[in-house]
Structure 1
Amino acid sequence: MIWIGLVALVAAAICGFLARVASVRARVMESTETLPARDLSALHEAAVEAAGKGHFRYRSEIVGEARPPENGALRSELAGLECVWHRHRITRKYEETYRDSEGNRKRRTRTQVLSEHSSSTAFFVRDATGQVVIHPGEHEVVGAEKVLDRFDAHSRGGHRLEIGPLSLDLGGGDGTIGFQREEWLVRPGSPFYVHGEATDADGGLAVTAPAEGGLFIMSVKSEKELLRRENNKVLGFGIGTAVTAVAGAVLLVLGIIY
Structure 2
Amino acid sequence: MANVRARAMERTETLPVRELKALHEAAEEAAGPGHFRYRCEVAGQALPHKNGALRSELEGAECVWHKHKITRKYEERYRDGSGNRKRRTRTEVVSENSSVTAFFVEDGTGRMVIRPGSENFIGAEKVLDRFEPHTGSGNRLAIGPLSLDLGGGNGTIGYRREEWIVRPGSRAYVHGEASDASGLLAVGAPAEGGVFVLSARSEEELLRSEGHRMLGYGIGTGLAALAGLVLIVLGILH
* Maintained 8 Å contact 1:120/1:136: yes
* Maintained 8 Å contact 1:159/1:170: yes
- Residue in structure 2 matched with residue 221 of structure 1 by the alignment: 201
- Residue in structure 2 matched with residue 84 of structure 1 by the alignment: 64
- Within the candidate set 169, 194, 197, 2:174 is matched to 194
In 2, the alpha carbon distance for the partners of 1:253 and 1:100 equals 39
Query: Which of the two has greater helix per residue?
Result: 1
In 2, the alpha carbon distance for the partners of 1:172 and 1:92 equals 10
Does 2:150 align with 1:150?
no
In 2, the alpha carbon distance for the partners of 1:169 and 1:127 equals 42
C-alpha change, 1:249 and 1:213, in structure 2 (3 Å) is farther
Q: Which has the higher contact order (CA 8 A, sep 6+)?
A: 1
The alpha-carbon deviation at position 171 of structure 1 amounts to 3.4
SS in 2 for 1:202: coil
SS in 2 for 1:35: coil
SS in 1 for 2:15: coil
CA deviation profile, 1:86-111 (whole Å, cap 9, x unmatched) = 00000111111111111111111111
* Maintained 8 Å contact 2:128/2:163: yes
* Maintained 8 Å contact 1:142/1:220: yes
- Residue in structure 1 matched with residue 150 of structure 2 by the alignment: 170
| 1:56-71 mapped onto 2 (5 Å cutoff) | 56-71=36-51
* Maintained 8 Å contact 2:48/2:168: yes
In 2, the alpha carbon distance for the partners of 1:212 and 1:189 equals 31
- Residue in structure 2 matched with residue 18 of structure 1 by the alignment: none
- Within the candidate set 114, 123, 127, 2:103 is matched to 123
In 2, the alpha carbon distance for the partners of 1:240 and 1:124 equals 41
SS in 2 for 1:180: strand
The root-mean-square deviation of aligned C-alpha atoms, in Å, is: 1.7
Letter in 2 for 1:155: T
- Within the candidate set 86, 109, 124, 2:89 is matched to 109
- Residue in structure 1 matched with residue 80 of structure 2 by the alignment: 100
The alpha-carbon deviation at position 257 of structure 1 amounts to 8.8
SS in 2 for 1:194: strand
SS in 1 for 2:14: coil
The alpha-carbon deviation at position 158 of structure 1 amounts to 2.1
Does 2:117 align with 1:137?
yes
Number of residue pairs matched? Answer: 238
In 2, the alpha carbon distance for the partners of 1:97 and 1:187 equals 43
TM-score using structure 1 length: 0.87
CA deviation profile, 1:162-208 (whole Å, cap 9, x unmatched) = 23333122334511111100000000000110011111111111000
The alpha-carbon deviation at position 247 of structure 1 amounts to 2.5
C-alpha change, 1:94 and 1:256, in structure 2 (3 Å) is farther
TM-score using structure 2 length: 0.94
Letter in 1 for 2:226: V
Query: Structure 1 vs Structure 2: percent identity of aligned residues?
Result: 69
- Residue in structure 2 matched with residue 11 of structure 1 by the alignment: none
* Maintained 8 Å contact 2:137/2:153: no
SS in 1 for 2:190: coil
Letter in 2 for 1:75: R
SS in 1 for 2:118: coil
The alpha-carbon deviation at position 30 of structure 1 amounts to 1.5
SS in 1 for 2:228: helix
- Residue in structure 2 matched with residue 25 of structure 1 by the alignment: 5
